[in-house]
């Protein structure tokens, strides 16, 4: 099956959030640089979308039904773009920080396919 086992989510997110935090710190410590002042708002924006997607995807269905899965899909697609933009913005400030965000981008791209699949399956039911 395409969905990972439930036991994988905790360890994966623990590693990803550690990488995200270190990447943010590497750029934040250079906050006086113009490129960092552009990159940090993108970083915060993607964190906001990340925090919105989880309750929307996992809890929204019970509240508003199938529409929650489609709204969550829009949120995670925007998150995909914001994380990619954050990586690009981090690159001139700290290549290490940009590289640290790549596993996160790959994981949320994977999550995007799961979100899309769930939304499509519910729509077909």
pTM, to two decimals: 0.93
* Secondary structure (3-state) at 34: helix
> How many domains does one find in the chain?
1
Residues 6 or more apart whose CB falls under 8 angstroms from that of 3 comprise 114
In a domain, 1, yes or no: no
Closest to 39 (Cα-Cα) out of 79, 88, 78, 96: 88
Q: In residues, how long is the chain? A: 125
Per the structure, the complete domain to which residue 18 belongs is given by 6-124
Note the pLDDT of residue 1.
54
- Cα separation, 51 vs 118, in Å, equals 20
Residue 41 resides in a domain: yes
Q: Give residue 4's pLDDT.
A: 84
Over residues 77-82, mean pLDDT: 98
């Amino acid at each position: 099956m395409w969905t990972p086992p439930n036991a994988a989510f905790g360890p994966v997110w623990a590693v990803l959030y550690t990488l995200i935090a270190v990447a943010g710190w590497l750029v934040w410590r250079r906050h006086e640089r113009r490129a960092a002042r552009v990159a940090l708002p993108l970083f915060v924006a993607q964190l906001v979308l990340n925090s919105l997607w989880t309750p929307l995807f996992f809890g929204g269905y019970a509240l508003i039904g199938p529409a929650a899965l489609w709204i969550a899909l829009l949120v995670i697609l925007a998150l995909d773009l914001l994380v990619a933009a954050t990586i690009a913005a981090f690159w001139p400030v700290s290549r290490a920080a940009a590289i640290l965000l790549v596993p996160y981008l790959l994981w949320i791209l994977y999550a995007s396919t799961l979100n899309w699949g769930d939304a499509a399956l519910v729509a077909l039911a």
